């Protein structure tokens, strides 16, 4: 029997006769030498130098697995955007081992696996953006979500935080980008101005149409008013004519009844009509001779004023 001490913030894995036996947390560890062995590991992050030679920039080896936060902070490296602009990306990632067994047995190099998943995710996401569309905050959120949705959890690791310290581009490319952005802004402003002018013309045209429509409605109301006035006057005249006609009819009816009652009035009416006729003829300048029957002369004697015209 033997024992050792596991410090706070670490765990270790005991293998018995070549098989995983138990995970031991901080405290005193009692084990049987020869039969029990500690599961050892050798994890490392790597990159490439200027000559494209592989080099390790951070490593961890032994049998004590840290459970505190660890940092992946590689040297800035280049990624290409969708429009083929090279960007220099400086990442700062913190992660924590949450399943010691999976981190030890699911991969030989946990750090290398974390590095591969993060870099591949960053490359693939930046490749979907045009440089002018890149927003660091949106990019970080998208990268973090995709990494957490990836298989990194299969290696017993949880990503705690991701920061993009720098997202730089070559100075000449940046100047060209600013020229493009300025041109795009000016183009959009010009198109907006044309659109606003078009909308203004349309609005003015609609106002003119509305005014014309209103004027037509006013003229129509005036015409309708005049027609109503004329109709009222015509109806008034028709009513007055009807009343006058009714009055004359009534007078004729009354006169007819009176003559029917007093027949001598008929003779008197005939005398009046003949007298009126002779008066009219007598006033004519061309009248030279009027011949009257004896009966008519007898009738005329009964009229107060009778003028007799004789020929020369």
Say if residue 53 is in the same domain as residue 143. yes
Tell me how far apart the alpha carbons of residues 56 and 45 are, in angstroms, rounded to a whole number. Answer: 6
Confidence (pLDDT) at 39:
92
Do 145 and 49 reside in the same domain of the chain? yes
C-alpha dihedral over 7, 13, 16, 19, to 10 degrees?
Answer: 180
| 66 and 121 inside one domain | yes
| Whole-number Å distance between alpha carbons of 23 and 31 | 12
What b/e sequence results for 54-67 when a residue is b if at least 16 CB atoms lie within 10 Å of its CB, and e otherwise?
A: eeeebeeeebbbeb
pLDDT attached to residue 12: 93
Residues 152 and 47 in one domain: yes
pLDDT digits (tens, 9 = 90+) for 84-105: 888 888 888 899 999 999 999 9
Residues 201 and 219 in one domain: yes
Indicate the residue among 169, 185, 206 that finishes a domain: 169
Q: Hey, what are 86's tokens?
A: 């090279």
Is 299 found in the same domain as 183? no
pLDDT at 84: 82
pLDDT of residue 198: 92
57 and 104 co-located in one domain: yes
Helix (H) or strand (E) holding 186: helix 171-261
End-to-end CA distance of the chain: 187
Residue range of the domain that includes 120: 42-169
pLDDT of residue 192: 92
249: tokens are 């009819």
Compute how many other C-beta atoms are within 10 angstroms of the C-beta atom of residue 193: 10
Helices (H), 262-307: 264-282, 294-301
pLDDT < 50 regions, the chain: 289, 291, 299-300, 303-312
Tell me the C-alpha to C-alpha distance, in Å, between residue 261 and each of 244, 247, 274, 309. Answer: 25, 21, 23, 37
Specify the number of domains making up the chain: 4
- All residues at 6 or more sequence positions from 178 whose CB lies less than 8 Å from its CB, including other chains: none
Same domain, 243 and 199: yes
Report which of 163, 157, 79, 86 is spatially closest to residue 120, judged by C-alpha positions: 79
pLDDT given at position 298: 53
pLDDT attached to residue 285: 61
Q: Is 165 found in the same domain as 88?
A: yes
**Residues 23 and 46 grouped into a single domain:** no
Tell me the chain's radius of gyration from C-alpha atoms: 61
């Amino acid at each position: 029997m033997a024992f050792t001490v596991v410090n706070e913030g670490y765990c270790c894995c005991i293998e018995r006769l070549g098989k995983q036996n138990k995970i031991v947390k901080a405290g005193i560890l009692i084990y049987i030498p020869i039969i029990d062995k500690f599961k050892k590991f050798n994890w490392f992050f790597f990159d490439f130098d200027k000559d494209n030679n592989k080099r390790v920039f951070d490593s961890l080896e032994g049998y004590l697995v840290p459970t505190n936060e660890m940092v992946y902070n590689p040297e800035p490296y280049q990624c290409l955007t969708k429009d083929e602009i090279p960007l220099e990306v400086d990442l700062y990632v913190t992660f924590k081992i949450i399943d010691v067994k999976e981190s030890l047995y699911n991969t030989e190099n946990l750090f290398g696996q974390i590095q591969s998943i993060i870099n591949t995710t960053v490359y693939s996401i930046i490749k979907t953006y045009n440089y002018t569309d890149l927003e660091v905050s949106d990019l970080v959120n998208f990268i973090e979500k995709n990494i957490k949705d990836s298989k990194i959890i299969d290696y017993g690791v949880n990503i705690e935080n991701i920061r993009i310290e720098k997202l730089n581009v070559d100075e000449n490319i940046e100047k060209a980008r600013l020229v493009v952005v300025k041109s795009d802004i000016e183009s959009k402003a010009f198109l907006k101005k044309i659109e606003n002018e078009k909308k203004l013309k349309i609005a003015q045209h609609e106002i003119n149409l509305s005014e014309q429509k209103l004027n037509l409605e006013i003229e129509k109301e005036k015409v309708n008013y005049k027609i109503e006035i004329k109709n009222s006057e015509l109806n008034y005249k028709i009513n007055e004519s009807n009343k006058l006609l009714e009055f004359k009819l009534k007078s004729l009816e009354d006169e007819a009844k009176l003559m029917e009652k007093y027949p001598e009035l008929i003779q008197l009416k005939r005398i009046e009509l003949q007298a009126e006729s002779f008066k009219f003829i007598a006033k004519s300048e061309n009248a030279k001779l009027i011949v009257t029957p004896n009966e008519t002369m007898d009738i005329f004697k009964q009229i107060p004023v009778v003028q007799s015209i004789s020929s020369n």
